[in-house]
Amino acid sequence: MARELDLPKPHGHWMLGLIRILILWPVLTLLGPFRFRGYRNVPRKGGLIILCNHLADCDPVALQAACPRGIQFMSKSELWDMKVVGPLMRWWGAFPVKRGEPDRGALRIASELAKGGAAVCIFPEGQLSEDGKLQEIKPGATLVVRMADVPVICCGLRNTNRVIPYGKLVPRPALAWVSATWGEPKKFEKDATTEDIVAWAEAEFRRLIPEPADLSLKSSLPEGQNR
């Protein structure tokens, strides 16, 4: 019999609306400005796997600000040793993953949380992108999608690496649009292969964050795109 998992419990999600209005949006507006698109595509209830590209340490903040529901994040284990960040992540219901090795425990936690109705975010590249370009999608993310058997959706972030550039720790004004764009949710059949899921995710990210990324403040916001 498989050992029962001690799943992380989110204690702060009920405050999401207040936190978003009082903290997340004001901070991102000052550092950005920030805009999000396609949030109506996100299922409001039921288990969900969120795949997101990874540009900066502030990505979870930007993603949560753009999401209509609370997210439980799979985050690198190093963060859990930080005095302020670690306890905050536990309070929010995040859970650690060991990078550079197959962490089956973290993958199982992610799938069980999603099966139980949670929205779980995985950064499928497994690390920050040094040059801002999409990196190889790791097979662990596709394994969670198959194990959880719930819808999966991609979100493309742009210019968060101008808020916290690669290798830096202190946030700064991006002086450019910082955006989060949601794709369309998809439910894979049980016989979907790793190649099927990776191909779909890569196509979604290419569509959501086309290169080159030009989000200068001089560019106009297309009508109807901030929804």
Would you say residue 2 lies in a domain?
Answer: no
Secondary structure of residue 76 in the 3-state scheme: strand
pLDDT-derived band at 63 (thresholds 50, 70, 90) equals very high
| Residue 6: predicted pLDDT | 86
Weakest mean pLDDT among 51-65, 76-90, 196-210 = 76-90
The C-alpha atoms of residue 137 and residue 135 are separated, in whole angstroms, by: 6
Whether 131 has a pLDDT exceeding 60, the answer reads yes
Share of the chain above pLDDT 90, in %: 78
Q: Mean pLDDT score of the chain, rounded to an integer?
A: 89
Phi and psi at 155, nearest 5°, equal -130, 130
Q: Report the pLDDT averaged over residues 58-78.
A: 95
Task: Name the residue type at position 222.
Answer: P
Within a domain: 177: yes
Digit-coded pLDDT (tens) for 6-44? 899 999 999 999 999 999 999 999 999 999 999 999 999
Is the pLDDT at 227 greater than 70, yes or no?
Answer: no
High-pLDDT (> 70) share of the chain, %: 91
Residue 3 within any structural domain of the chain: no
**Model pTM greater than 0.85?**
yes
> Looking at residues 54-78, what average pLDDT do you find?
95
Could you list the beta-strand ranges (E) of 136-183.
Answer: 152-158, 178-182
* Cβ-Cβ contacts under 8 Å for 200 (sequence gap 6 or more): 186, 188
Across 46-65, average pLDDT: 96
Report DSSP state, residue 40: G
For residue 135, being part of any structural domain is answered with yes
Write out pLDDT tens, residues 76-121. 888 888 888 889 999 999 999 988 777 899 999 999 999 999 999 9
Report yes or no on 86 lying in a domain.
Answer: yes
Asked if the structure places residue 215 within a domain, the reply is no
What six digits make up the tokens of 4? 């029962």
Q: Residue 80's pLDDT is what?
A: 85
- Residue range of the domain that includes 124: 13-208
Tell me, yes or no, whether 50 lies in a domain. yes
Distance (Å, rounded) from C-alpha 20 to C-alpha 37? Answer: 16
In a domain, 219, yes or no: no
Q: pLDDT at position 221, please?
A: 35
pLDDT of 164 above 80? yes
Predicted confidence (pLDDT) at residue 65 exceeds the cutoff of 50: yes
State the Cα–Cα distance between residues 128 and 166, nearest whole angstrom.
Answer: 8
- Residues 50-62 have a mean pLDDT of 96
Task: Please answer whether residues 31 and 174 qualify as being in contact, where contact means their C-beta atoms are separated by less than 8 angstroms.
Answer: yes
The tally of domains found in the chain comes to: 1
